[in-house]
Amino acid sequence: MHVIVVGLSHKTAPVEIREKLAVPESRLREALTRLCTYPGVREGLLLSTCNRVEVYAVVEDLESGYGRVQEFLADTHLSLSSEHLTPHLYWHAGDRAIGHLFRVASSLDSMIVGESQILGQIKDAFEVALTHKASGLLLNKIVKKAISVAKRVRTETKIAETAVSVSYAAVELAKKIFSNLTEKTVLLIGAGEMAKLAARHLIANGVRQVRITTRNFQHGLEVAQKFNGTAVPFEDYKTELAGADIVLVSTGASHYLVTADDVQRAMRQRMSRPMFLIDISVPRNIDPAVRPIDDAFLFDIDDLHMRVEQNREDRLREAAKAEQMVVEEVAVLGQWLQSLEVTPTIVALRSRAEDIKRREVEKVLARLTHLTSEDRAAVEALASAIVNKMVHGTMVTLKTEATSSSGAAYVDAARRFFNLEEAQPAYPSGQAEGQEIPERNGPGHEATGFSEPSLVQHTTKEPGRRGR
Amino acid sequence: MSSVFFMLTMGLYFVSTVCYLAYLLRRAETLSKVSLGITAAGFATHTVALLARMADTSQAQLPTFHEALSFFSWMLILVFLAVEFRRQLHVLGSFIVPLALISLVTAAAFRSDEASTLQPVFKTLWVHVTLSMLGTVGFAVAFVAGVMYLIQDGLLKSKRFNVLYAKLPALDYLDHLNQQSIVMGFPLLTLGIISGAFSAEIVRGTYVNWNPEQTWAMVTWGFYFAVLVGRLTIGWRAKRAAYLTIIGFAGVILTLIGVVLKSHGSVS
C-alpha cells in the first residue's frame, strides 16, 4: 500500500494547463467516484484550486498507481493527453507525499507564502472525500494531521503575521501610528480599486468614519454607500484634510492635489495630532514636500511595495522554521504508518500475549508451592493454550486481510483492541520485510510462522518525470 | 543583609539590561521572557534590600541620597512591571531597565552606613523625598516614552522598517504614555516641593533660599507646568511633547545633582 500524490501547481504549470485541469465543485463528486473506480486505487482525495490540482491517493502498486492517477488527470479534460501533462506533473510517494501535503496545507508551497486560503480549501476537499467515502483510514489520518500541522505552523511561526499586499501594508503602517483605529476617520480622495481595498481593510480593522470625495459626486455617493460612509463634494477636499486621521489618495490627476501648504494648514488645525497620508496614485497626487512636515507621515506606492517586499522576506525566514516542523510531523506520522504494518503487529501481539501469560503463571505458581514439576508444566501449558487460542483468530484474520482494501483498518483495530500502541515494533521495519520471524514455540503452540510483507510501504524513491 | 541583596539586585539588573538591549536587536521573542524573569527576580531582591534597609534605619535619621535613588529605581521597575503586565510592551524594558540600573549604580556610589541622627520633626523630610522621587519616576517614564517616540517617528519618516520598528508600539500610544506619566508625576512633584519647603522652614527657618536644588526644582516644576498646560491647551503633543519631556528630564537630573552638592556640604 502506498500513499502517493500526483499533481501540478503554479510552480510547474502555466495557468492554461491549470484552468483545464481544475475541477469545479459541482463535478468534484463525479471525479472522485471515477478516481476510485480505477483498479488498484484504494483511497482518493482531489484538491483543486486556482493554483494547484493534486490527487492524493492510496494505491496498491506504486508504478501502476502513478499511471492510473495521471490517466485520471488527463481524462478530466478532453483536449488533454497524458503526454501533454507529463512535463508539468510531480509525483511523490510515502513520506514525501505526506510532507508535500503538510507543506501545501501550511501554505509553504503557495504563491504567497503564509496565505490562509489553502487550508480552507483542503478542509473542503477533505469534506467532499469524506462524504463520498473516497478517503479511508490512511488519508483521513494524513489529512487531519496536515490540518493540525498547518495550525501549528500558523501559531508557532510568524508566517502569516505580516502584510503581503499593498493595500494591507497600508493598514499595517496605520497601526504603527494609531494604536486604535476605531475612533479614526479615513478620507478617500478618489476611489481607485486599491484605495477601496485599503479602505475595506481599514474598516475591517475598526475604522468607522469613512469620508469619500470623487470628481464625480454620483460615483462618490455610490462608494460611500458601500462603505457606510459620507460623500463630500470634491471642491471641499482641502478643508476635509484637517478632520482626517488617515488620507488615502488615488485619483487619475496628473498634478499634486495635496500640497505641503495644505498639509501644514491641516496640521495646525489638528494641533499636531498625527496624520497618515497614503498616495497610491501614479503619477503622485501628494507633493513629496509633505514628508518633512512634523507629525504627518506620507507613504507612496513605492514605500508600500518596499514594505511588502520586506514582509515577504520575513515570511520566507519564518517558512524555514515551518519546514523544520513539517519534517518533524512527517516523522511522527511515519511512526503511526509503520505501526500499520502487519508483521510487527503480529509480533507485538504475540509478545503481548506471551507477556500476560508469563506474569499470570508466575503469580499462580508462586502461591501453589506444593505442586509437582509435572503439575507446574501442566498449568503453564494450560495458560499457553488459552492465550494462543485467544489471539490465533486475530492473527489469521490479520494475515488474510493484509492484502485486502481494509487491511490497514484491521491492523489499526487489532492494535487498539490489544492495546499495542505503546509496544514498539519488535524489530526495525527494514529488517522486517521478507524475513522470518523468530518463533517461540511453547507447549501446545501452533507454529504459525507468519511472514507477511508489510502493509504500508514507505517509499522515498522519486520516480522522476516519466514520459509514457 | 541589605547590602548583600543590594549587590545581588545590581547584578540581576545588569544581566537583565544586557538581555533587554540584545532583545532590541534580535528577532528572538524568548529573549524578552528571559529578561522579564531576571528583572522580576531583581525586583524581588530589591524589595528585600529596601525592607532590610528600612528595618536598619530609624525614622529619626535623615533620608540619604542613596536611599532616594534606590527607591527611585525600585519604583521605576514597579511601573515597568505594571505596564508590561497590562500591555505586554516588552520593548519598554529595553529602555526602563537600563535607566533603573544607572540610578542603582549611582545609588551604590553614594552608599554610606553612617547616617546623621536628627530630631523627630524631620519626619517631613521623608515625605518630601518620597513624593519628589515618585514625581521623578513619572518624569522618567515620560522621558523614556519620549525617546521611544522620537525613535519610532524617525524610523517611520525615514522608512526604515527594521526590528526596532516592529517592536516599538504605535506613536499615539507612546504619546499617551508620555501624557499619562506627566499627569501623574506633576502633582507628586508639586507636593514634593511643598513638603520640601516646609522641611526647609523647620530646618533653616525659611521656606526658600534658592540653593541649586531649590532653584532647579522650581525651574523643573515651571517647565513641566508649561509642558502640561501647553499640551492641554495648544496641542503641544506628539514630537514636540517628546522633545520637551526629554529636556525636562535633564532639568530633573540637574536638580538631583543639586541635592548631591547640598548633601556634601558645598552649598548650604
Q: Which residues contact A213 (CB under 8 A, 6 or more apart)?
A: A187, A188, A189, A190, A220, A231, A232, A233, A234, A236, A237, A240
Among A284, A308, A332, give the residue marking a domain's end.
Answer: A308
3 state DSSP class of B73: helix
What's this model's pTM, rounded to 2 decimal places? 0.71
What is the CB neighbour count within 10 angstroms for residue A205? 17
> What ipTM was predicted for this assembly?
0.85
With an 8 Å Cβ cutoff, are B170 and A306 in contact?
Answer: no
Does A399 lie in the same domain as A267?
no
Residue A299 covered by a domain: yes
DSSP string for residues in B197-260: HHHHHHHHS-S----HHHHHHHHHHHHHHHHHHHHHHH---HHHHHHHHHHHHHHHHHHHHHHH
The answer on pLDDT for B121 being more than 70 is: no
Task: Tell me what pLDDT residue B115 has.
Answer: 52
Cell 513638603 maps to which residue?
B195
Tally of domains in chain A: 3
Among A102, A121, A156, give the residue marking a domain's end.
Answer: A156
Residue A322 covered by a domain: no
Task: Tell me what pLDDT residue A326 has.
Answer: 93
What's the gap in Å between the CA of B248 and the closest CA on chain A?
Answer: 20
Candidates A178, A271, A291; nearest CB to B172: A178
Bridge partners (DSSP) listed for residue A52: A9
Contact with chain B for residue A155, Cβ under 8 A: no
- Calculate the average pLDDT of chain A: 83
Residue A328 covered by a domain: no
Does A431 lie in the same domain as A369?
yes
DSSP letter assigned to residue A437: P
Among A122, A156, A190, give the residue marking a domain's end.
Answer: A156
What is the Cα–Cα distance from A467 to A465, expressed in whole angstroms? 7
DSSP string for residues in A216-264: SHHHHHHHHHHHT-EE--GGGHHHHGGG-SEEEE----SS-SB-HHHHH
Task: Tell me what pLDDT residue A186 has.
Answer: 93
What is the Cα–Cα distance from B178 to A173, expressed in whole angstroms? 21
Domain that holds residue A215: 166-308
Does A145 lie in the same domain as A38?
yes
Q: Which residues contact A305 (CB under 8 A, 6 or more apart)?
A: A166
What is the Cα–Cα distance from B40 to B38, expressed in whole angstroms? 5
* DSSP strand pairing (A90-93 vs A2-9): antiparallel
Q: Which of A300-314, B49-63, B107-121, B244-258 has the lowest mean pLDDT?
A: B107-121
Does A146 lie in the same domain as A9?
yes
Does A134 lie in the same domain as A9?
yes
Candidates A179, A272, A310; nearest CB to B237: A272
User: Mean pLDDT by 10-residue block, N- to C-terminus, for chain A (468 residues)?
Assistant: 90 88 86 89 90 91 90 83 87 93 92 86 92 89 94 88 82 92 92 85 90 90 90 90 92 89 92 91 90 92 89 87 92 81 81 89 88 88 89 84 72 83 45 36 38 42 41
3 state DSSP class of A43: strand
Residue A321 covered by a domain: no
Does A170 lie in the same domain as A143?
no
* DSSP strand pairing (A41-48 vs A52-59): antiparallel
What is the Cα–Cα distance from B171 to B239, expressed in whole angstroms? 9
Maximum separation of any 2 CA atoms in chain A, in Å: 114
Residue A70 covered by a domain: yes
Candidates A179, A299, A307; nearest CB to B170: A179
Does A152 lie in the same domain as A182?
no
Cell of B127: 515625605
What's the gap in Å between the CA of A161 and the closest CA on chain B?
Answer: 11
What is the Cα–Cα distance from A423 to A344, expressed in whole angstroms? 10
Mutate to test the interface with B, among A162, A180, A269, A272 (most CBs of B within 10 A): A272
- On chain B, the residues whose CB falls within 8 A of the CB of A273 are 235, 237-238
Interface list for A 265-304 with B (CB within 8 A): 270-274, 291-292, 294-295, 297, 299, 303
3 state DSSP class of B40: helix
DSSP letter assigned to residue B32: H
